[in-house]
Amino acid sequence: MSSVIALFKIVPDDTLIRITQTGLDLNVPYKISTYDKNAIEEAVRMKEKYSLKAMGITAGVTDRKSIREALAMGLDEVVAIEMREMDIQTTAENIAEQVKGLSPKLIIGGETTTDSSGGVFIPYLASLLNYPIITYVKSLTLIEDKVRAERNLTSFTQTVESELPAIVSVVGEINTPRIPGVKQILESQKKPVKTINSTAIPKVKITAITPYTIQRKKVVIEGKMDEAVDKLLQYLKGEGVL
Amino acid sequence: MSSTVVIYSEDVDYIKTGIASTKGKTIVISPREVRLGDENHVINEIDEQLIAEYIARLKPDLVLTGSSKRDKTVAGLTAGLLRVPIIPDVIELSENKAKRVVYSGMAIAELEFSYPIVITLVKKNTDIRENPDCKIIKADLSGNSKVKVVEEKHKEGGSIDLSSAQIIVSVGRGVGSKENVKYAEELANALGGAVGGSRPVTAELGWLPEDRQIGLSGTKVKPKLYIALGISGQPQHLAGIKDSKIIVAVNKDKNAPIVENADYTIIGDVIEFCKVFAQKVKGI
């Protein structure tokens, strides 16, 4: 049975990360990176529509709860590559290694992740696999041995076609990720998770992470709208922006 | 060190940023003749994979690209072909160190790397001029394109470049409906600004075209005045407005995260604010 692969990254929940006096508090629960959930959803839709097996590959933190969520959303199996340190190159090399054994029809990833927000990972992997690549996809169809996709390139859209196997990155508007029910969550416990340990050493080293703060004035104006706007206008004139 | 530096972007401002970020001989690759760098290779079409193959054949020690969507696709493909490291969205580059923004705009990471490498740059204002001695070379993108373009749709009347707008009125779910967006448009007109929106409003609800999306996915903006109407302030949105000079928020909810991230917040109704503000601005 041919397969579709969803790539996803498990990241510290960016809605919970706080800047504290001592730095960035990253000791927060993990989640599946926002647009990677769209990738999982799209892979599951492909599975339902074209009777494919839906595989998932994740690299980095292998948080069980997040992997279970991906399985509950409908992936059949997940390969989890544990990496203590990672950069784009070592991650792509490790994932390419796993893809080779699976020979999928299609690989789907998110356009960018909420932790490192690069947007270059999927193209890197495409070169390693020598697959055609379509980035920033907002709609996706399989037609026989081809994939047809609509790309959101900000100022314009492009409809493209390529042969399979291919790799795509999806944007948030492609779908709304499903929220699994109790039944799916229970079933997910029986689905296979294969864990691999990678000891690859990244060539790009992070030497420091410091909070990026811009001090905002945080002035709150309450009261009647007419008076509030007058106050605001005064402030804005004082700032020299009006 | 004799090294080959290749700079590629669809956008001449990124090419200038690249030239300002490096010393020594540079090969500039661009879809139009820009007369920048020591050599300017002018390509006849934008096929990301063929451009990446072309760059890789030059055996570069350093590749600098822009950070637009297609630029980044070229950058990732090139790094993969060369099997070298890549660092995207670099805001500061020196020798073997780079800085970039991480965690949805909440932190800056400092990185150390070795050459060869591919780097995508964040756009900066530079005073780089054309090089009169620049050698122009017509680049032949030979090879088979793996991805065929079937159709391209450009917006009627062109699209608005939010990344260079000085005043932005931005709408979120809190404006209530698609019909209400017109109040934001009227305010933007009165202020001489542009209208943008959050991800829910642009990508999910379709109240505004997708090219108006501001945030992590979408355009990053740096106006002198950013007015966030009914935007709660999710990190993905805040990541795109961090470089604004002054942020004004209008929100019913005093506890919305945007309040902590704004200079001035008016607690109240967005539509009423638009009407009153537009009226007063017109009266100035």
Of A120, A128, A154, the CB nearest to B211: A154
The pTM of this model reads: 0.89
Chain B: nearest CA to A187, how far in angstroms? 30
Query: In percent, how much of chain B has pLDDT > 90?
Result: 79
Q: In which band, very low, low, confident or very high, does the pLDDT at A23 lie, cut at 50, 70 and 90? A: confident
User: In the A/B pair of chains, how many CB contacts fall below 8 A?
Assistant: 275
8 Å CB contact between A133 and A126:
yes
At residue A107, φ and ψ (nearest 5 deg) are -120, 135
Touching check for A24 and chain B: CB below 8 Å? yes
Q: What is the mean pLDDT of chain A?
A: 95
**Residue B284's pLDDT is what?**
64
> Residue ranges of chain B with pLDDT lower than 50?
none
User: Position of tokens 């999928």?
Assistant: A104
**Residue B159's pLDDT is what?**
67
CA distance A164 to B95: 41
8 Å CB contact between B202 and B219:
no
Q: In which band, very low, low, confident or very high, does the pLDDT at A117 lie, cut at 50, 70 and 90? A: confident
3-state secondary structure A77-121: EEEEEEECCCCHHHHHHHHHHHHHHHCCCEEEEECCCCCCCCCCH
CA B241 from centre of chain: 12
Contact yes or no for A17 and B235 at CB 8 A:
yes
> Interior CA angle at B187 toward B171 and B164, to 5°?
70
CA distance B218 to B203: 10
Of A24, A126, A158, the CB nearest to B77: A126
- For the segment A144-187, what is each residue's pLDDT rounded down to a tens digit? 889 999 999 988 899 999 999 999 999 988 999 999 999 999 99
- For the segment B158-189, what is each residue's pLDDT rounded down to a tens digit? 667 798 899 999 999 999 999 999 999 999 99
8 Å CB contact between B243 and B226:
no
Chain A: nearest CA to B263, how far in angstroms? 4
Containing B89, the helix (H) or strand (E) segment is strand B86-94
Q: Which residues of B41-76 are buried (b: 16+ CB within 10 A; e: fewer)?
A: bbbeeebbbbbbbbbbebebbbbbbbbbbbbbbbbb
User: Position of tokens 């692969």?
Assistant: A5
Strand partners for B149: A160
Contact yes or no for B265 and A220 at CB 8 A:
yes
Predicted interface score ipTM higher than 0.85: yes
**Residue A185's pLDDT is what?**
95
